[in-house]
Structure 1
Amino acid sequence: MKIRTLCAAGLVLFGASAHAFTQETHRRIVLDAVEYMKANPDTTNFKKLQSGAQRAGFTIDQLAQALGQGAYDVDDFEDTYLCGATTGNCQMAPVWGLGAAIVKYTSYWHFQNHGAGHDQHGNDFGGYNYNKLTVWGDIDNMAASWLYGDYLDDGPGGLKGWFGDGSKYNSYSLTEKNYRLGGNSSPEMYADFEKMPFQPLDNLGQYWFQQFLTKPTLQSLGFVMHTTDLLQPHHTWTTSALNHSGWEGWVNDYYDREKLNESSLVTAALKSYTPLKPTDTDIRPLLTQGGAISYSRGGAVLSSTDHATRLGVAKVVVPHAIAMVVHLLNRAAERL
């Protein structure tokens, strides 16, 4: 990924060359969260957010665009390779992915399964694990059949296919380690795709928030904002199928036409969360609250494509996604 860097006053702005909510929806949610804060400076931490941007030589709109780009870019990560059980050849996407809503294997880190509870890593809610899905469909089954026995790339000399070891990245010791956050893992847990316990999305968000606290960059903070996938019901019911891509496309298409970002809905949604304290370093409780909202109130879109049904769910989950970002930015403004 090509990156250009602008830095001033200790704050670094990264811009990357360039599904879950579509990538554009991820961007819009972040932009609307900043706009909400701008319109409500007395009830949000907007003044500190703006001051942090100004000290670094950026306008608030430049800050918003950079954060939105970071949220957008997470779907483009090239950090997860699965390797063939027979060939040992490692790839970052299935050959049929573009036609089946699985573009890259990195998307498997973008779930939090509220139907299965804790996982073998020690997380309160696990991530995608085909063996523990409570709902599933054609794309889940296609992946599990196509990738049966395939393993997560764990570097040269690790797990192997029958005819070789084609390691390209060592996703286990890099990506999985980043999202492990002190939990229990072993390469053997990732030896067969159909039983792989992928780390949950809140761990991805927590990892990048830790990076932001250590060295504040708009790129790492933007990556945190991709956790609005927790307000996408398919990511908490946990399935790649059941109208997954169709629903996300619908949200993108009707985002403005149906005013899914209506300010009064965001104001109400903010009350659904326990706000982060100015010194909080673990944002996972807030993220999990967002996941609980989509799981409890969004399941209808897995079985229905009716416009009214989708609109009813969207009027809940999109404002709550924007509200979750506002809470994250209220906390992040203390570090900018």
Structure 2
Amino acid sequence: MKKIILCAALGAATLNVHAFSQETHKRIVIDAVNYMAQNPSTTQYQKLANYAAANNMSVSALAQLLGQAAYDVDDFEDTFFCGAITGDCVQAPLWGAAESIVKYTSYWHFQNHTQGADIHGNDFGGYNYQELTVWGSVDSMAATWLKGDYLDDGHGGETGWFRADDTRYNSYGITEANYRIDSQSNYSMYDDFEEMPFQPIDNLGQYWYQKYLQSGNPQLLGFVFHTTDLLQPHHTWTTSDLNHASWESWVKDYYDQENLNNMQLVQDALESFDPLATNSQDIRPLLTQGGAFSYAQGGIVLNSKDHYDRLNTAKLVIPHAIAMVVHLLNHAMVAR
């Protein structure tokens, strides 16, 4: 299926960013569909097959499309920070590729379980440098580099010195507003990076799920599945550092070799989630369950590079990530 461009919310860049690696995101979704195919009597597989047919594709092709959409969320060009002095607005730091911060959009991909409710009124907030309880040099480097820089709020909004304004995208009026579900914001929260309280990733997932329910578009449903970042412990302990990038590379490298997608482990993981009510359109309770699991089980990978420490954690969080997608797919097939 031809990729759909959604009101300038998506971009065309292809660099990796910090989260589960993009390829891992895609594999998790494909494995969730494979699990459903292998277990049609206990999942909504037949409805999924009907959905694929209604979109003129095979189930295998649908799995690829959904997985690619989950992959693509890291490539969104929807978040620009602007220089406090120059007013120049960019979507990534110059040094980002070397430190795994390739796009600022990735700051929407956290749910901080080390803290309670945030200033917006969310049960768990997202990335907020001044509220971190664990951090490393990458977090501090970003906060130093971006000190005083502001979130692009479009023409006529915040500017640098002498009204310097090179706005590129109204990130506050579009991206933050999209993810402001059931919460509140004002622009003063976003005029200094080091104090920005980013919306959590479950709000991102809820936004795209609502768009799927309205349209039935499989690409929009695929965007929802980027929320498997909630099973990546760095995204619930909340840090851009502490072995963040090397852990994600390890998961990608050993995904098949260590059989991280073991279907028996996926079946066991399915039972640890409380399924969503069919008549509910709010998927965030399920997503938060995934975040609570990774926070409780995965902290060791922030401090250890030992293969078996990583393996023990991966055999917990990857099957749970696949199981979470199965639950979401089951719900998506009956919710419309």
**Same fold, TM-score > 0.5, yes or no:** yes
Q: Do the aligned partners of 2:279 and 2:335 also contact (CA within 8 Å) in 1?
A: no
Paired positions, count: 326
In the TM superposition, structure 1's runs of 4+ consecutive aligned residues that sit over 6 Å from their partners are none
Equivalent position of 1:330 in the other structure: 330
Question: 1:307 is matched with which residue?
Answer: 307
Q: 1-side partners of 2:219 and 2:102: how far apart? A: 22
Partner of 2:121: 122
Partner letter of residue 186 of structure 1? N
Q: What whole-Å deviation, never above 9, does each CA across 1:177-212 have from its counterpart, x for those lacking one?
A: 000013110111001000000000000000000000
Question: Equivalent residue for 1:191?
Answer: 191
CA contact (8 A) 1:159 1:187 kept: no
Distance (Å, rounded) in 2 between the aligned partners of 1:37 and 1:280? 22
Contact 1:205 1:227 in 2 (8 A): yes
Give the equivalent residue in structure 2 for 1:173.
173
Residue 29 of structure 1 corresponds to 28
Q: Which residue pairs with 1:112 in the alignment?
A: 111
Q: Tell me, in whole angstroms, the C-alpha distance in 2 between the residues paired with 1:206 and 1:81.
A: 22
For 1:185 and 1:304, how far apart are their aligned partners in 2? 37
Question: Partners of 2:295 and 2:196 in 1: how far apart?
Answer: 22
Tell me the distance in 2 between the aligned counterparts of 1:104 and 1:117: 26
Deviation at 1:98, TM superposition (A): 0.3
Structure 2 letter corresponding to 1:174: I
Whether the 8 Å CA contact 1:216–1:335 is kept in 2: the answer is no
* Unmatched runs of 5 consecutive residues or more in structure 2: 5-9
Letter of the 1:291 partner, please give it: G
- The 2-side partners of 1:240 and 1:222 are apart by 24
Q: Which residue of 2 aligns with 1:289?
A: 289
The within-5 A match list for 1:69-148 is 69-148=68-147
Q: Distance in 1 between matches of 2:13 and 2:180?
A: 28
* Unaligned stretches of 5+ residues in structure 1: 6-13
Q: Is the 8 A contact 2:52 2:62 kept in 1?
A: yes
Aligned CA distance change for structure 1 residues 3 and 26 (closer, same or farther; 3 Å): same
Counterpart in the other structure of 1:212? 212
The amino acid of 1:139's aligned partner reads: V
Query: Which one is further off, 161-170 or 113-122?
Result: 161-170
Deviations 1:235-254 (A, max 9, x none): 00000000000000000000
What displacement does 1:52 show?
A: 1.4
State the Cα deviation string for residues 29-76 of structure 1 (Å, max 9, x = none). 000000000000011111111111112221100110000000000000
AA aligned to 1:208 is W
1:270-289 equivalences under 5 Å are: 270-289=270-289
Contact map agreement 2:270 2:324 (CA 8 A) in 1: yes
CA distance in 2, matches of 1:96, 1:17: 16
CA distance in 2 between counterparts of 1:224 and 1:256 reads 24
Q: What displacement does 1:335 show?
A: 4.9
TM-score calculated relative to the size of structure 2: 0.95
SS at 1:334 equivalent: helix
Quote the RMSD (CA, aligned, Å). Answer: 1.5
Cα distance in structure 1, aligned partners of 2:135 and 2:75: 24
Distance of 2:174 and 2:3 partners within structure 1:
23
Q: Distance in 1 between matches of 2:335 and 2:285?
A: 19
Cα deviations by residue, 1:242-267 (Å, 9 ceiling, x for unpaired): 00000000000000000000011000
Shift of 1:17: 8.6
Name the amino acid aligned to 2:202: D
Superposed displacement of residue 278, structure 1:
2.2
Q: Distance in 2 between matches of 1:321 and 1:111?
A: 15
What residue in structure 2 maps to residue 250 of structure 1?
250
Partner of 2:262: 262
Amino acid at match of 2:110: F
Structure 1 vs Structure 2: percent identity of aligned residues?
63
Q: CA deviation at 1:167?
A: 1.1
Whole-Å Cα distance in 1 between the matches of residues 3 and 186 of structure 2?
A: 35
Equivalent position of 1:8 in the other structure: none
1:280 Cα deviation after fit: 1.8
CA distance in 1, matches of 2:223, 2:248: 19
Equivalent residue number for residue 162 of structure 1: 161
Cα deviation, 1:147-202, whole Å, max 9, x if unaligned, reads 00000001112112124122111100000000001311011100100000000000
SS of aligned partner of 2:122: coil
8 Å CA contact 1:3–1:17 kept in 2: the answer is no
CA apart distance, 1:324: 0.1
Q: TM-score, normalised by structure 1?
A: 0.95
Q: Please state how far the C-alpha of 1:144 moved relative to its aligned partner.
A: 0.3
